[in-house]
A = this chain, B = another copy of it.
Amino acid sequence: MKKIGSLANEKGSRLVLALDVSGENGVETLRRMSVRLSDHIVGVKIGMPFVLSTPLSLLKPVIEEQSEDLVFIADAKLADVSHVNALTSEVLFNAGFDAVISHGFIGCDGGLDGAKQVALRLNKGLLVLVSMSHPASVGIIDRALTEIVREALMVEPDGIVAPATRPEVVSRVRKMLPEGMLMLSPGVGAQGAPFGSAIRAGADYEIVGRTIYGSQDPPAAAAAAVEEQRRAREG
């Protein structure tokens, strides 16, 4: 996961593409978008519907082709016990992913720790999700936010994930993180948060999906997003 910082500096971008397509054309879309957007984005986050509907033997060469220029994140939302999370992570890391996202609410002991051990062993990254964007997240998950962040930090993650659609959560989480801890924030664009807004709230990277890959001109849409991010960082 160290490379995300150097890619960000090199490209002047804090943008990660969320590619939530599925079906037969998924791999081709991934290949095309990775190539076309490589100058504008630092990574690609891929959801489980895509991963499940694509044989990993087809996914792996596409990831490998771009592995120097992009960070590939599996949005697995791991939420099992330790040894199952470890096995799932290992399958994803072996398919070429640089990092996996796990839920923090499972806690560290017997939950997050398995995936972390695999990440350390394979020199990969573990990102921990501490809140979500949907209405019911405000109930059970956010009431436990302080504890979830505390458990997430116990595993010494490579980054924290919190939703851009709720900037007050992003700000609150940032205050709980040690200096230099990466924060990635999905939900920017079509889901409602304006470009740059999560960065203003304290995130390091914004994760944008349909607004870019569904655009008539994805590179232009990505460049516009990066420009908004730059303003947010300078503001």
A interface residues with partner B (beta carbon < 8 Å): 20, 22, 47-49, 51-53, 55-57, 75, 77, 79-82, 84, 87-88, 90-92, 103, 105-112, 132-137, 139-141, 143-144, 147-148, 151
Contact = CB atoms under 8 A, between A and B. Distances in A.
15 contacts: A22-B87, A47-B80, A47-B84, A48-B84, A49-B91, A53-B56, A75-B80, A81-B133, A81-B134, A105-B141, A106-B140, A107-B139, A111-B132, A111-B134, A140-B148
Nearest to A83: B20
Given A110-B134, A134-B109, A137-B111, A80 B81 contact: no
A148 B139 CA distance: 10
B51 A81 contact: no
Contact of A79 (B22, B79, B147): B79
B82 A134 contact: yes
Contacts of A110: 134-137
A144 to B, nearest CB: 5
Contacts of A91: 22, 49, 52-53
Contact of A136 (B88, B132, B135, B151): B151
Nearest to A79: B79
Contacts of A47: 80, 84, 87
Nearest to A133: B81
Given A22-B87, A84-B20, A106 B136 contact: yes
A60 to B, nearest CB: 12
A88 B151 contact: no
A79 B77 contact: yes
Nearest to A55: B55
Given A22-B87, A55-B55, A87-B49, A107 B81 contact: no
The 8 closest A-B pairs by CB, nearest first: A107-B136, A110-B134, A49-B87, A79-B79, A109-B135, A55-B55, A109-B136, A110-B135
